[in-house]
Amino acid sequence: MKFTLEQVHEAHAKVKSGADFPRYVQDLKDMGMAGYTIDVSTGKTTYSDVEGAMLATDVAYEALPLNEILNKERFAERLKLHQQGGTDYPTFCKDCTDNGVAGWLLDFEKMTCTYFDVRGNDVLTEQIPAVK
């Protein structure tokens, strides 16, 4: 494993809103990370490095109830607000579960973030912006 959870937490501590996300992704890539998956209802994150090794966190918070009915339009609105710096991370996680989004997968090779529902179906895939 090319990185530690402590290094990941240090990088994450710099993130104040969705507007900080591109810099965070670049910091993780610089550590040798290939991507990660988040279970948004528990905050459990599984990281993978460029050699395929995996590292997972424990559950990060009390489980958020996950709405099994997807509201893609409302989710897209809340995502945009978050990306513009209008919400913090805990609020965004609740927005996800309220609108039927179970988690997301970041792929640093493709530079994409794919949100998925409770059944694992892709809800929305976005390009991760380059660092400005």
**Residue-wise pLDDT tens digits, 82-108:** 888 898 889 999 999 999 999 999 999
Between 21-30 and 5-13, two packed helices, what is the crossing angle to 10 degrees? Answer: 150
- Where in the chain are the domains? 5-120
User: So what CATH class is 5-120?
Assistant: alpha beta
Residues 6+ apart with CB under 8 A from 21: 15, 83, 128, 129
**Residue-wise pLDDT tens digits, 18-72:** 778 889 999 999 999 999 999 999 999 999 999 999 999 999 999 999 999 999 9
Give the pLDDT mean for 3-29.
88
pLDDT classification of 123: cutoffs 50, 70, 90: very high
Q: Quick one: pLDDT at residue 83?
A: 85
